[in-house]
Amino acid sequence: MRSWQRMFVAVMRLLLKCLRLGRRRRFKLLRQVEQLWHYGNLCLRSLLYNSFTNGDVVLDSLFEPIYWLVDHVTRWFGVVFVALVIGLTSSIVAIVYICLLPLILQTYTPAWICWHLAYGHWNLIMIAFHYYMAITTSPGHPPQAKDELSGVSICRKCIAPKPARTHHCSICNRCVLKMDHHCPWLNNCVGHYNHRYFFSFCLFMTMGCIYCSVSGWEMFRDAYAAIERMKLLEKERLQVAANQTYYQTPPPTFSFHQRAFHKSVVYLWVLCSSVALALGALTLWHAALITRGETSIERHINKKERQRLQKKGKVFRNPYSYGGWDNWKVFLGVDMPRHWLTRVLLPSPHLPHGTGLSWDLPPCVTEQRTPLLAI
């Protein structure tokens, strides 16, 4: 270690002798370099200084090119995602009608047949209705005229009024009222006017997938075992065909209809189970947000605000939360008991409470909570 240090010192001395710099000139040059370094550091920090800068901001800045690429890819591939959802759902419905329904009518009791027909068609209608409404319904956008709204902030990207709970969507390139997120599977933003349709679609699609997975479990086991027997018999048939004599005949093979039936059942069960797990987790996540009266974006904002106020010894309160039960009533638009049937269990195109521009107390809320951010 000492030999390396001595070698480094000798090289530096030789370099200084080559430059023919005196002692005073060397110290003067070092001071100038140090001053330039501090001056450049000060200029850089003054240009980039932000009191809210932290690790998250730095990561967002580094990943900004990736965000830009994802936004543009999502914008152009939204139609493909919608077609994929419609195609996969239609394939499952076709398999149920062509393969499973005749088997159900032949083997099940009349009571179970009525149950499957009633629940299956009700669930299918709810999925189709809410998906269509989520795609075609605009999430809601604030007015562009600055004179129509007063006392609101201005969006720095579209230079337009930005009411409370409004956020700018980089994919749609405009502000969205009560924005939750941009969903590529809808090719649309999820906002104030179609948030209920989006959640209802996720809920009923998850229920339908669970229903298909549970009711088709026995059929899946039989179909999977049949496919394994197909592979084994096909292997035996090839071996017999290779050594075939006049006294040997190959074992019988499955018909095309049988192969298609068993593979369709396996495809249905695997797809429904996968969607039930993935979409079920997403549905539970949004259910928790609705219970707290938050959107996906507000969850991150409120978390940072809660941490900031906690350091000051204060308590954060969400001004848009009215309690778990009342939050669900506001979200679903339930103003009276019969609305649980007409607006929740049946297709309903009713509008949500409010216009998304202001957030007054809904009439279905039993008691008003103090709308304070901190106390």
What is the distance of C-alpha 306 from the center of its chain? 24
Secondary structure of 311-357 in the HEC alphabet?
Answer: HCCCCECCCCCCCHHHHHHHHHCCCCCCHHHHHHCCCCCCCCCCCCC
Instruction: Measure the CA–CA gap between 120 and 215, rounded to whole angstroms.
Output: 11
Contact 256, 213 (CB under 8 A): no
Q: How many H-runs (helices) and E-runs (strands) does the chain carry?
A: 12, 6
Query: What is the DSSP code string of 188-253?
Result: EEE-TTTHHHHHHHHHHHHHHHHHHHHHTHHHHHHHHHHHHHHHHHHHHHHHHHHT--TT--PPP-
CB atoms within 10 A of CB 31: 10
Count other C-beta atoms under 10 Å from residue 222's C-beta: 12
Active site residue 183: yes
* Closest alpha carbon to 141 in 166, 158, 165, 159: 166
* Dihedral sign from CA coordinates of 137, 142, 144, 149: positive
CA distance 302 to 323: 16
Question: Residues 169, 175, 183, 202: which is the catalytic one?
Answer: 183
Residues annotated catalytic, as ranges? 183
